[in-house]
Amino acid sequence: MKTNLIILLCSVAYALGDEVSDAIKDIVNNHNYRYVTFTVNDSATALKVEKKGDKSESLVDFINQLTNSEPRYFIYDFEYESNGSNKQRFLGICWAPDTSSIKRKMQYSSAVNVFKSAVKDVTGLRLVYATDVFELDYNSLFHIAERI
Ligand SMILES: *[C@@H]1O[C@H](CO)[C@@H](O)[C@H](O)[C@H]1NC(C)=O
Ligand SMILES: *[C@@H]1O[C@H](CO)[C@@H](O)[C@H](O)[C@H]1NC(C)=O
């Protein structure tokens, strides 16, 4: 049992890589970015950091930079107001637009577990599965963040 666990942890750490774990620390612990964008490599076994969104970017800026042809994973620092007080929650967004190719969609769905393992230690993170931009508007994210 113990040996299996160690092997599992090692392989997860290996699959993440320094660049990915540093980017996760930067957004989660240091709040340096609005979002971090991840791609998966061709065998869908490892994440790569593609982009780090500036803290000044709004949700609209974020939505505008999404592509309709390319799935992506994101960690998004969602700041919102609820019942008169400011709140914050990290969202793990799996973006797989309907219009992307079958091959890409399969690649990204098979890498969902790689993404989940990358974000498993982010306190309070909620996963968001979106295939269309309307699923990422403020109200949708608000409901997910507040679990209404
Ligand atoms: C994807 O990344 C993993 C982990 O670094 C590596 O073992 C695998 O060979 C890579 N696949 C491709 C096609 O680059
Ligand atoms: C909003 O805040 C008020 C005052 O703190 C509290 O009494 C009320 O229950 C809260 N409502 C919700 C929906 O959380």
Sign of the CA dihedral with 106 first, then 108, 111, and 117 last: negative
Instruction: Find out whether 34 and 65 touch, Cβ atoms under 8 Å.
Output: no
Q: Is 114 in the pocket of ligand 1 (CB under 6 A)?
A: no
Query: Strand order of the sheet with strand 47-54?
Result: 47-54, 33-40, 72-82, 85-95, 126-130
- Distance spanning both ends of the chain, measured CA to CA: 39
Q: What is the pLDDT of residue 15?
A: 56
Among candidate residues 65, 56, 67, 64, the one with its CA nearest the CA of residue 34: 56
> How many angstroms separate the CA atoms of 146 and 33, rounded?
22
Among 16, 18, 41, 103, which is best to mutate for testing ligand 1, by the most ligand atoms less than 8 A from CB? 41
Q: Is 12 in the pocket of ligand 1 (CB under 6 A)?
A: no
Local structure of 48: helix, strand or coil? strand
Residue 17 pLDDT class (50, 70, 90 cuts): confident
> How many angstroms separate the CA atoms of 40 and 115, rounded?
9
User: What is the 46 CA–ligand 1 centroid distance (Å)?
Assistant: 6
* Range 2-146 classified under CATH 3.40.50.970: no
Q: What is the pTM of this model?
A: 0.85
Among 39, 43, 108, 117, which is best to mutate for testing ligand 1, by the most ligand atoms less than 8 A from CB? 43
> pLDDT (tens digit, 9 = 90+) per residue, 33-62?
999 999 999 889 999 999 999 999 999 999
Residue 148 pLDDT class (50, 70, 90 cuts): confident
Taking residues 6-15, report their average pLDDT: 45
Q: Is 18 in the pocket of ligand 1 (CB under 6 A)?
A: no
Name which of 3-7, 93-97, 124-128 the model is least confident about: 3-7
Q: Is 39 in the pocket of ligand 1 (CB under 6 A)?
A: no
Residues 6+ apart with CB under 8 A from 140: 134
Q: Is 46 in the pocket of ligand 1 (CB under 6 A)?
A: yes
